[in-house]
Amino acid sequence: MVMNMYSKSSDTSQTRALLLERLNFRYPNNTTEVEEDNTIIVRLPSATVDTEFVISLYEDYGIVECNGLDNESMGLVRELQVEVDDIYLHYV
């Protein structure tokens, strides 16, 4: 995977761009960006029900939420939150 060059920045647009790049690589065709409020939506098929994950990006942190409460969706919330936390740790 070839990543664009990113540096430390508190610019939420850079955070969003880096996260979208990672998510589009990991989950192609399942990621939607909502420009107005720095939100990214990831829709993933599940064994039980399709799950929508909402990632809200703020200046100092990001939060992952979902509409599913089964073990599979909660595991994916943790995976996505690790990605978000990694970006904030290394690039924000």
* Per-residue model confidence (pLDDT) at position 1: 42
Contacts of 87 (CB under 8 A, 6+ apart): 15, 18, 19, 22, 62
* H or E element at residue 53: strand 51-57
Segments of the chain with pLDDT less than 50: 1-3
- Tokens 């939100």 label which residue? 39
| Residues in contact with 2: Cβ distance below 8 Å, sequence separation at least 6, in sequence order | none
The pLDDT assigned to 2 comes to 43
The predicted structure's pLDDT at residue 6: 58
pLDDT of amino acid 52: 87
At 56 the pLDDT is: 92
pLDDT digits (tens, 9 = 90+) for 23-40: 888 888 788 877 667 888
Cα–Cα distance for residue pair 73/71, rounded to 1 Å:
6
